[in-house]
Amino acid sequence: MGSLGLGTAGAAWGTTASLYVNGLTLLAMWHVKARKLGKPTPLFTLPSRAELQRLLSFIVPMLVALCSRVSMGLSITIGATALGTVALAANQVVESVYWLFCPIGEAISLCMQTYLPSVLAARRRAGAQMRRRCERASTCAGLVAGAAAGLSVVVRPGLFTTCGAVAGSMARAAPALAAAIFTFTRMCGLEGSMIARKQMKQLALSHATLALVLIAALRRATRTAGCGLQHVWGIIVLLNAARTLLFRQVVRRAEVAETLDEAAGIAQVVPNIAETHPHML
């Protein structure tokens, strides 16, 4: 943007270049890992029909979920635009801070995706224990991240703007911003649990449905007299809370099924003494 004089287009080119560098770096890392495995693993190859079906069963639901999440982000900006210039400027700051702290929740989700499958393979009932630990960790992380996000736009508004009206709008939205970060972080661990269990269809359907609900709710709210940026972000809090409750219900049902499956497996291994040795009773 500066040295090459490309302006805004320079930001787009820089982002594009970083994505290609990231892709090449991952390919190089995979090449090194494949050599350590001791098996010839080509970097590029056409998948077989069976491999393609397995890939699509994961890619399509994830694509739906990601597109739904992108539409949620766009709907926030569109909703703020309908509230006027001051609200839009304040939302640019609030939303940027929100996405700045969201990777904390994403990290928890990635941990669940990485470690939960091996935990379930070792002992299926342990999945519920890991979920409870994840919920405690995400609660603590969400409280800290939410407080930091909310305070950043209230204590130091000068970092973002010199306009008093914009700073006031940011301050009014700060509690909702903090709550949105907290609920998002709480939701991420449960989302990671669903991905680890390959509950992709439920995940995609939930995200798509809630995205439509969010768009309708923001459309209605921004057309109501007295609506401010804090109300827009209040709807985001409700959305994240709804996702948390819905995902938790799906995960709990999976945990009950896993417990029953493990109990059935133990029953097959341990003989029923009443049938095999009734005289011992």
- Dihedrals phi, psi of 41, to nearest 5 degrees: -125, 105
Please count the CA atoms within 13 angstroms of the CA of 63 that sit on its side-chain side.
6
How does DSSP classify residue 48? P
**Residue 276, pLDDT score:** 56
Nearest to 191 by CA among 95, 76, 111, 71: 111
**Residue 125, pLDDT score:** 75
Beta carbons of 112 and 189 less than 8 angstroms apart:
yes
Whether the model clears a pTM of 0.85, i.e. scores above it, the answer is no
What is the C-alpha radius of gyration for the chain, rounded to an integer number of angstroms? 24
**Residue 269, pLDDT score:** 47
Tens digits of residue pLDDT in 215-236: 999 989 988 888 899 999 999 9
**Residue 19, pLDDT score:** 96
Q: Which residues does the chain have with pLDDT short of 70?
A: 261-281
**Residue 277, pLDDT score:** 52
